[in-house]
A and B are shown apart, each in its own frame.
Chain A
Amino acid sequence: MSHEVLGFDVTADALLEKAKRDGAETMWDRKAAMKASCGFGEKGICCKNCSMGPCRISPVEGKGAQKGICGATADTIVARNFARTVAAGVSSHSDHARDIIHVLHMASEDGNYKVKNPEKLMKLAKEWEVDTEGKEIYQIAHEVAEVALMEFGKPFGTQRFIKRAPEPRQKIWKDLNIEPRAIDREVATILHSTHIGCTSEVDSLMDMSMRTSLSNGWGGSMMGTEFTDIVFGTPTARSTEANLGVIEENMVNILLHGHDPSFSEMVVLAAEDPELMKLAKDNGAEGINLVGMCCTGNEVTMRHGVKIAGNFYQQEMAIVTGAMEAVLVDVQCIYPALPKLAECYHTKFIATSPKAKMEGATYIEFNEEHALDITKKIVREAILNYKNRDRTKVMIPQQKSKAMLGYSVETIIDHLDKVVNSQTDVFETVKPLSDVIWAGVIRGAAGIVGCNNPKVQHDNSHITIMKELIKNDIIVVTTGCAAQAAAKAGLLTMEAKELAGRGLREVCERVGIPPILHMGSCVDISRILDLVSRVSKERGLDNSNLPVVGVAPEWMSEKAVGIGTYVVSSGIDTFLGITPQVTGSARFVDILTNQLEDKVGAKFFFEEDPTVCAQKIMERIEEKRDRLGI
C-alpha cells in the first residue's frame, strides 16, 4: 500500500521502509497479519457477555443461528455492543475530566497548579450558584471543584451543564427521558443493562446510549474543557508548526503523547527549567525540543504553541525517526506496541499513569502533589539519553507546515467582535457568525473530528472533506487528530483562505481567521457544542434547525462513538467515514440513520467515500437551509 497519497506525507513510505530495515514492526505489519477481519465482529453480531457464549448470529436472515443461547436477537446484540462502546468512550473522557477537576481542587497560590483564569472560574461559580461573597479565589476554586466532582456520582438530579443547551433541546431530552444524570451512574447503568438477561429492547438501549453519551458531551468533556481552561488558561490564537519535521536533529527530542493536560502542562514547565536546559547543553544538545502528538499535543499547542509532531497514525513513525530521546505517555490511544518499538532505538518509553501501565515501558508514576519534581526527573532522563542516540539510525522527514490555532469559543468571539458595528450591534456574541450563515455568505458549519484508521488512507478523508467543504463556503471547526491532519496539510493558515469559496474567503479576511479553526483536543468538542448552541440561542432555535454537521471521517476509538452519539443526541447530524460495527442489525442501522431524526432531530450518516461524503454533507446543509427558508 502506498502512503504517498498526500503531498504533506511524502515521507511515510520512506519511514516505513526504514522501520523494516531497523527490524521494527508497525501497525501496517500487524494490519496485514490480521488478514480479513471477522465478519461477525465487523457486523456487531458476536456476543460474549456471558459464559454460555460466545454466540454469533448468522448475518443471513432466516438462515443459521438467528438468536443467541439466551434468546438475544441480532438487534439486541448489536444494540448492546453499541451501548457498551458508548459507555467505554464516555468513561474515558469523564475519567480524564475527573482528574483535571481534582487538580483544581488541590490548586493553591504556591502549588504546582494555580488558577490561571479566575474570570472563567468566577463565571462558572455564578452559573452553578456557588456563593463567592467574601471568599478568596482558591476557596472558590475548591468549592466549584467539589460541586463538579459531585457531577460524577450525585444520587439525584441531572448534569448541570445541560442548561447551556437551547431550550427546545432541553425539552427534547426531558420528554425522551434522556437527561443525563450522574456520569458514572450512566456508565454503570449501561454495563448493568447490557448484562445477560437484562435489557433486550433495542430502542431502550439506544436511549440509554444517548443519555450516557450526553453525560459526556454536556458533562465529562465539558467539565474537562472548562476546568482545563480555568487551571491552565483559555486558549488564544497563536502559531505553531506541525508534522514530523518538527523533530530536531541537534536537540533533545521529547514526545508528549496521550491526553491528560495536568501531566503535559507540567512537562512544558519542566522543559523550560533553566537548569535542565543547561543540562541539555552540557550533554551536547542545542536545547530541549518538546513535541506533541494526539490530544495532549493539542492541549499544549493550543495553550503554548508546542509543535505538533503528528497525529494518531504517526505515533510509531515518530519513534522510527530514531531521533526521539523519550516518549512520555499518560492515557488513551497509546499503542501497546510502542515500548517494544522503542527498544529498536535508544528511545526511552515512559508510562506515567496508574490507569495505563504498559508492558515493557519504564514506569515513573506521575502524581499531582509532586507534579513538577516528577516531570523534571522525567525530562532529565530524556536529556541524559541524548548521548545514546545512534546517529546512523536517524532519519527525520523534512516535512512541516505552519499552523494557526488556539480558537476557543472565547477567542472566536473576540475575532467576531472585529466585524461588529458598534452602532448596530453588541459585542461578545456569536451574532456575526449567525448573520453570515443566515445571509448565505457561508452555507453552514461542519465540525470535523476524530481519529485515524488504517482501514482508509490516513488523513486522506479528513483533508478531502475539509477542502471540499471550505471550497463550498462551509466553515470548518476541528479538533483531535482531524485538526492535526489539517495542520500538517497547511489548512490552518491564513493563506488557506485561497482554497475557500468567495463567501468564506471574505469572512476569513474580515475576521482575520483561517477557514478551518482548530478548537482543541477531543474533550474540547464540548467547545463546538457550546458554539453551536450559542448560535441556536441567538436565533431562538434548536441545534437541529441549524445548517450544521459533525463529521468523523477516520474515526476508530470508542471515544469517537461516545462523541458521535452525543453530537447526534444534541441535534447535530453526524457523518461517519468508517461504518460502525452495527450492520448485523438492519433495524439498528435504521434507528441510527433514520429513526433518530424523529426523536432528536438528527441522525447518523455512514459514507466511506470522502468525496461522496462531502457531497452528502452539502446536500444536508442545503436541506436544513431550505427548511429555515434562508
Chain B
Amino acid sequence: MSLFEIIYTGSNAALGLAQQTVADAIKEKGKDHKVAFPGTAYSLPVIYAATGIKIATLGELEGALGVVKSLIVEEEDMGKALNAGLATAVSAEIIEGVRYALSEDPYKNETGIGFVPDSIIRSLGVPLVTGDIPGIAVIIGESSDKDSLGTIVKDYQSKGLLTFLVGNVIDQVVEAEVKVGLEFRVIPLGNQITSVIHVVSVAVRAALIFGALKPGDLSGLLNYTKERVPAFINTFGPLNEVVVSCGAGAIALGFPVIADTDVPEVPGALLSQKDHNETVRTSLEARNIKIKIKELPIPVSYASAFEGERIRKDT
C-alpha cells in the first residue's frame, strides 16, 4: 500500500469511529445534549479554529462529521493526503468531545489528564515565547524498552522541553520513575490515540490566543503552527493506519514525525530513527530546535523544568 493509501485508510477508519460514536451518543442523549470541553472559551478548538464554527450540541457535532468527510479526498496527492490527516484530527476531536459530553470527567480513572484547559495554555505562553520552553515533544505509542523511553523523556525535561504523552508510553514513563505533571513539563494526556487531539488543541489555541488568528483561517493557522509552535512527534512501536493518518495531520501542522520503525521517509517531515539513543538529537534537528546548554558538572539534573518541584519527606 502506498503511504497515501495508508493515510486514507486511517482517516476513513477514524471517520467511521467518529460517526459511530456520535450516533450512539445521540441515541442515548438526544441531539440537543450539550457538548463542551472544560475550561475553554474556544468550544471544540480544532473545529473552531479550522472552520470558525462553535459546536455546542451533539446535533451540531453530527454536522461536523461533514467537515471530516469533505477533507478526505482520496487522490495520490500530498496536499489531499495532508488534508486527510487533518480530517483524522477533527475525527479525534469529535470522539473526545463525545466522551466529555457523556461524562463529567472521562479521564477520572486514567493517569492522563485529557483536555488541557485554556489557563494552562496561557501559563505556557510566556516561556514558549521567550524560548524557555524550546520545544514541544509529543510521544505516542508503546516503546519496546521503557528504560530508554524514560531516558528520552528525562533528556527532553532537562533541555526544558514540554513533553506530552499518549498511549501506553504513559505507564512506561511512570514505571521508569520519571516524574510527570505540568510542573515537570511532562504531561500525560490519555491512553487512547484520540487523546493526542488534546495536544493539537494546545497548538491550535496557541495560534488563536498568541497569534491572534481569526477562527476559520485554516491556512493562516497551519502557517502559524509551522512557523511558531516548535512541536514534533516521536512514535514508538508499530504504527497502524490511524496513527499514520494522525502523523499526516501533524505534518500538515508543520510538525515532523520521528518513528522508531521503518516508515516511508520524507526528509524533514517523516523520519525513521530506530536507535533510541539518537531519538532526541534526531528530533531536535528535524524541528530545528537549537538549545544552548551550559552543562553544569553537578550530580543531579538541572533545568527550569524542576523549578516547581516540591521536596517531601518520603523522596
Tell me the A residues contacting B by CB distance below 8 Å: 416, 419-425, 432, 435-436, 438-443, 472-473, 501-503, 506, 510, 622, 625, 629-630
On whether A510 and B77 interact (CB within 8 A), knowing A423-B285, A424-B273, A439-B3, the answer reads no
Chain B residues with CB below 8 A from A441, complex form: 78, 266
A416 to B77, CA, bound (A): 22
On whether A503 and B285 interact (CB within 8 A), knowing A629-B2, A630-B2, the answer reads no
> Does B57 touch A at the CB level, under 8 Å?
no
0/1 string, B268-284, CB within 8 A of A gives 1 = 10111100001001100
Partner of B78, one of A435, A506, A510: A506
Chain A residues with CB below 8 A from B76, complex form: 440, 443, 622, 625
> Does B308 touch A at the CB level, under 8 Å?
no
Q: Does the CB pair B77–A423 fall under 8 Å?
A: no
Residues of B239-273 at the interface with A, using a CB-CB cut-off of 8 Å, are: 264-268, 270-273
Specify the chain B residue showing the minimal Cβ separation from A443. B76
A438 to B263, CA, bound (A): 11
Q: Does the CB pair A501–B78 fall under 8 Å?
A: yes
Chain B residues with CB below 8 A from A438, complex form: 3, 264-265
Partner of B81, one of A424, A440, A442: A440
On whether A423 and B264 interact (CB within 8 A), knowing A443-B76, A503-B77, A506-B78, the answer reads no
Counting from the closest, the 3 A-B pairs by CB-CB distance are A502-B79, A503-B78, A419-B267
On whether A502 and B77 interact (CB within 8 A), knowing A421-B267, A440-B3, A629-B2, the answer reads yes
**Least Cβ distance of B10 to chain A in Å?**
15
Specify the chain A residue showing the minimal Cβ separation from B270. A439
Q: Does the CB pair A501–B77 fall under 8 Å?
A: yes
> Does B164 touch A at the CB level, under 8 Å?
no
Chain B residues with CB below 8 A from A510, complex form: 267-268
Specify the chain A residue showing the minimal Cβ separation from B272. A424
> Does B286 touch A at the CB level, under 8 Å?
yes
Chain B residues with CB below 8 A from A502, complex form: 77-79, 82
Which of A424, A438, A501 neighbours the largest number of chain B CB atoms within 10 Å of its CB?
Answer: A424
Q: Does the CB pair B267–A435 fall under 8 Å?
A: yes
**Least Cβ distance of B268 to chain A in Å?**
5
A26 to B4, CA, bound (A): 52
Chain A residues with CB below 8 A from B271, complex form: 421, 424
Tell me the B residues contacting A by CB distance below 8 Å: 1-4, 76-79, 81-82, 264-268, 270-273, 278, 281-282, 285-286
Partner of A439, one of B1, B264, B281: B264
Which of B265, B278, B285 neighbours the largest number of chain A CB atoms within 10 Å of its CB?
Answer: B265
| 14 chain-A/chain-B pairs, Cβ below 8 angstroms | A419-B267, A420-B267, A423-B282, A432-B267, A436-B267, A439-B3, A442-B78, A472-B77, A473-B77, A501-B79, A502-B77, A506-B78, A510-B267, A630-B264
Task: Identify whether the interface residues of B are mostly helix, strand, loop, or mixed.
Answer: mixed
**Least Cβ distance of B13 to chain A in Å?**
20
**Least Cβ distance of B145 to chain A in Å?**
18
Partner of A503, one of B79, B273, B281: B79
Specify the chain A residue showing the minimal Cβ separation from B286. A421
On whether A421 and B77 interact (CB within 8 A), knowing A440-B2, A510-B267, A630-B2, the answer reads no
Chain A residues with CB below 8 A from B2, complex form: 440, 625, 629-630
A503 to B77, CA, bound (A): 7
Q: Does the CB pair A421–B268 fall under 8 Å?
A: yes
Known: A438-B265, A502-B78. 14 other contacts (CB 8 A): A416-B267, A419-B267, A421-B271, A424-B271, A424-B282, A435-B264, A438-B264, A439-B264, A441-B78, A473-B77, A502-B79, A510-B267, A629-B1, A630-B264
Specify the chain A residue showing the minimal Cβ separation from B82. A502
A402 to B212, CA, bound (A): 37
Which of B76, B267, B278 neighbours the largest number of chain A CB atoms within 10 Å of its CB?
Answer: B267
**Least Cβ distance of A197 to chain B in Å?**
54
Q: Does the CB pair A423–B267 fall under 8 Å?
A: no
Q: Does the CB pair A422–B78 fall under 8 Å?
A: no
Q: Does the CB pair A421–B282 fall under 8 Å?
A: yes
Chain B residues with CB below 8 A from A629, complex form: 1-2
Chain B residues with CB below 8 A from A506, complex form: 78
On whether A435 and B265 interact (CB within 8 A), knowing A424-B273, A440-B2, the answer reads yes
A625 to B265, CA, bound (A): 16
A442 to B266, CA, bound (A): 10
A436 to B273, CA, bound (A): 17
Chain B residues with CB below 8 A from A422, complex form: 285
**Least Cβ distance of A545 to chain B in Å?**
15
Q: Does the CB pair B266–A435 fall under 8 Å?
A: yes
**Least Cβ distance of A57 to chain B in Å?**
46
Specify the chain A residue showing the minimal Cβ separation from B78. A503
Chain A residues with CB below 8 A from B78, complex form: 440-442, 473, 501-503, 506
Chain A residues with CB below 8 A from B79, complex form: 501-503
Q: Does the CB pair A439–B265 fall under 8 Å?
A: yes
A368 to B267, CA, bound (A): 46
**Least Cβ distance of A79 to chain B in Å?**
39
Chain B residues with CB below 8 A from A436, complex form: 266-267
A622 to B286, CA, bound (A): 30
Specify the chain B residue showing the minimal Cβ separation from A626. B2
A432 to B265, CA, bound (A): 8
A440 to B278, CA, bound (A): 27
Chain A residues with CB below 8 A from B278, complex form: 423-424
A503 to B4, CA, bound (A): 12
Chain A residues with CB below 8 A from B286, complex form: 421
**Least Cβ distance of B195 to chain A in Å?**
27
**Least Cβ distance of B264 to chain A in Å?**
4
A440 to B244, CA, bound (A): 14
Partner of B273, one of A423, A472, A625: A423
